[in-house]
């Protein structure tokens, strides 16, 4: 008796719980006479890099809002669907499966973390869905030669060396200590930096790794103070980076710090406080505060955009440009997805708000730049020092 009741109860709860959920998706696909085009978005909206993920999401959402009219004119209703990859490759891949199996999705603005984008893009490729990354910098993202994968930012093997060049030639660092956070992103960037710095003639006096999520980095910092470098390079994200800088200063290490785009966040300044001075950043993201976008963003969300917001915006725009191009070629009808992927790859000299976009045959943006920033005081964003083109 109890068993049946239990089974019945389970059935009804399951049914009640999800009829609503699916009813919604049903209406989304069936509603309206025009054909639906969905842009999917995947970024970490929870976890340690949620700030950056939300920034990308907000940027992309603005782009989609703006393009709605253009799509309406072409006879499509445009929609943005958001997925949270939690910065976790497994979550990213299973979301990618869901995105891939949704026939209305014609493009993905995806992934902050290269470690998530690499496995997920294998899935997008199977379904021929074009993806444009606003922030993934690892070399492997495009080096695998996938047809659908693009990014509008620079690569690690450009960012790392660009940082190394600046560190050695402009800052004049001779002894460099390299730390990474033992993630795909941090390790890739730190390795690229270390190799280039050694080539530039600097001495790498030590290399060490830290664990993400820890709060006490004094062990590694003791190695740093023993090596007495002119510059410490950290490949990793802002939450660890901020603490590392703070604890280094507390330990009397006054060498300059340098980090990659993962440290480019207002939270870095919040964590490190005043100790953030004499910290350099190489970023694939330029300063967007003077653009029209920044003003609109502030009106919309009541906060200043983070560094990657505008890249989320530009990525989404490039993607939609490609979709419209492909549709036009197809006589105003929705084209096959591999055609869309080809059209996105073929986008040429697109003038974005922040960056000009032309994809090369691997999907890297030919106009991607590296920007060098320096913090002199505890305020975000940092002051721009220069930019390096490819």
Kindly tell me which residue out of 77, 94, 278, 356 binds other proteins, with binding defined by CB under 8 A.
94
Per-residue contact string for residues 47-76; x = within reach of other proteins by CB under 8 A: -x-xx--x----------------------
CB 269 within 8 A of CB 276: yes
C-alpha 75/C-alpha 66 separation (Å) is 16
Per-residue contact string for residues 17-36; x = within reach of other proteins by CB under 8 A: xxxxxx-xxx-xx-------
Which of these segments, 8-16, 255-263, 340-348, 371-379, binds other proteins (CB under 8 A)? Answer: 8-16
Nearer to other proteins, 23 or 386 (CB): 23
User: Which tokens is 104 given?
Assistant: 């209305």
Q: How far is the CB of 104 from other proteins (least distance, A)?
A: 8
Which of these segments, 86-94, 153-161, 330-338, 345-353, binds other proteins (CB under 8 A)? Answer: 86-94
DSSP 163-232: HHHIIIIII---EEEEEE-SSHHHHHHHHHHHHHHHHHT-EEEEEEE--TT----HHHHHHHHHH--SEE
Give the number of other CB atoms < 10 A from CB of residue 352. 20
Kindly tell me which residue out of 36, 95, 136, 148 binds other proteins, with binding defined by CB under 8 A.
95
12 lies in the site for other proteins, by CB under 8 A: no
Q: How far is the CB of 111 from other proteins (least distance, A)?
A: 13
C-alpha 175/C-alpha 280 separation (Å) is 16
Count Cα atoms within 13 angstroms, Cβ side, for 364. Answer: 20
Nearer to other proteins, 6 or 346 (CB): 6
Q: At what angle are helices 50-74 and 309-329 packed, to 10 degrees?
A: 30
Kindly tell me which residue out of 9, 15, 69, 70 binds other proteins, with binding defined by CB under 8 A.
15
List Cα–Cα distances, 126 to 45, 57, 132, 134, 318, in angstroms. Answer: 25, 24, 16, 21, 21
Q: How far is the CB of 150 from other proteins (least distance, A)?
A: 18
Residues 284-343 close enough to bind other proteins by CB under 8 A: none
Nearer to other proteins, 179 or 347 (CB): 179
Residue 344's nearest CA partner among 35, 39, 34, 29 is: 39
**Length of the chain in terms of residues written:** 390
Kindly tell me which residue out of 58, 131, 133, 267 binds other proteins, with binding defined by CB under 8 A.
267
Which of these segments, 192-200, 244-252, 316-324, 359-367, binds other proteins (CB under 8 A)? Answer: 244-252
Is beta strand 231-235 parallel, antiparallel or unpaired with respect to 279-283? unpaired
Nearer to other proteins, 225 or 330 (CB): 225
Question: Phi and psi for 79 in degrees, rounded to 5?
Answer: -150, 145
* Helices and strands, counts by H and E, the chain: 13, 14
In which order are the strands placed within the sheet that holds 35-43? 76-84, 35-43, 105-110, 131-133, 149-151
Q: How far is the CB of 316 from other proteins (least distance, A)?
A: 17
Kindly tell me which residue out of 225, 289, 330, 358 binds other proteins, with binding defined by CB under 8 A.
225
Which of these segments, 152-160, 239-247, 288-296, 307-315, binds other proteins (CB under 8 A)? Answer: 239-247
Q: How far is the CB of 224 from other proteins (least distance, A)?
A: 10
Kindly tell me which residue out of 62, 63, 84, 343 binds other proteins, with binding defined by CB under 8 A.
84
Which of these segments, 197-205, 236-244, 339-347, 375-383, binds other proteins (CB under 8 A)? Answer: 236-244
On the 0-12 / 13-18 / 19+ scale of CB atoms within 10 A, 33 is exposed
CB 242 within 8 A of CB 273: no
Residues 126-165 close enough to bind other proteins by CB under 8 A: 126, 140, 144
Per-residue contact string for residues 197-216; x = within reach of other proteins by CB under 8 A: ----------xxxxx-xxxx
Nearer to other proteins, 146 or 357 (CB): 146
Cα 69 to its chain centre, rounded Å, is 27
C-alpha 91/C-alpha 11 separation (Å) is 27
Q: Please give the helix or strand (H or E) that residue 74 lies within, else none.
A: helix 50-74
Helix (H, G, I), strand (E, B) or coil at 368: coil
187 lies in the site for other proteins, by CB under 8 A: yes
Kindly tell me which residue out of 162, 189, 220, 340 binds other proteins, with binding defined by CB under 8 A.
220
How many residues of this chain bind other proteins (CB under 8 A)? 85
């Amino acid at each position: 008796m109890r068993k049946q009741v239990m089974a019945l109860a389970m059935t009804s709860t399951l049914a009640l719980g999800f009829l609503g959920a699916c009813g919604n998706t049903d209406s989304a696909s069936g509603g309206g006479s025009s054909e639906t085009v969905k842009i999917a978005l995947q970024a970490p909206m929870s976890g340690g890099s949620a700030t950056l993920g939300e920034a990308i999401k907000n940027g992309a959402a603005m782009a989609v809002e703006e393009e709605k009219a253009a799509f309406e004119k072409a006879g499509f209703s445009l929609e943005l669907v958001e997925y949270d990859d939690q910065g976790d490759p497994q979550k990213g891949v299973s979301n990618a499966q869901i995105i891939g199996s949704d026939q209305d999705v014609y493009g993905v603005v995806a992934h902050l973390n290269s470690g998530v984008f690499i496995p997920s893009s294998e899935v997008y490729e199977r379904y021929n869905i074009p993806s444009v990354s606003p922030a993934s910098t690892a070399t492997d993202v495009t080096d695998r030669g996938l047809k659908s994968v693009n990014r509008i930012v620079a690569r690690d093997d450009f960012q790392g060396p660009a940082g190394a060049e600046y560190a050695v030639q402009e800052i004049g660092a001779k002894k460099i200590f390299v730390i990474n956070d033992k993630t795909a992103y941090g390790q890739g960037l730190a390795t690229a930096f270390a190799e280039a710095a050694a080539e530039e003639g600097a001495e790498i006096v030590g290399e060490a790794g830290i664990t993400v999520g820890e709060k006490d980095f004094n062990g590694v910092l003791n190695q740093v103070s023993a090596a007495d470098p002119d510059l410490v390079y950290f490949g990793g994200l802002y939450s660890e980076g901020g603490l590392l800088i703070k604890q280094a200063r507390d330990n009397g290490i006054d060498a300059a710090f340098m980090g990659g785009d993962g440290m480019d966040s207002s939270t870095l300044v919040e964590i490190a406080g005043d100790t953030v001075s004499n910290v350099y950043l190489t970023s694939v993201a330029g300063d967007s505060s003077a653009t029209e976008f920044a003003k609109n963003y502030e009106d919309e969300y009541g906060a200043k955009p983070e560094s990657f917001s505008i890249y989320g915006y530009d990525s989404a725009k490039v993607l939609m440009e490609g979709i419209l191009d492909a549709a036009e070629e197809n006589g105003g009808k929705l084209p096959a997805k591999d055609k869309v992927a080809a059209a996105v790859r073929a986008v040429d000299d697109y003038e974005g708000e922040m960056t000009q976009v032309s994809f090369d045959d691997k999907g890297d943006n030919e106009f991607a730049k590296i920007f060098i920033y320096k913090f002199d005081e505890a305020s975000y964003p940092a002051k721009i020092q220069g930019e390096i083109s490819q």
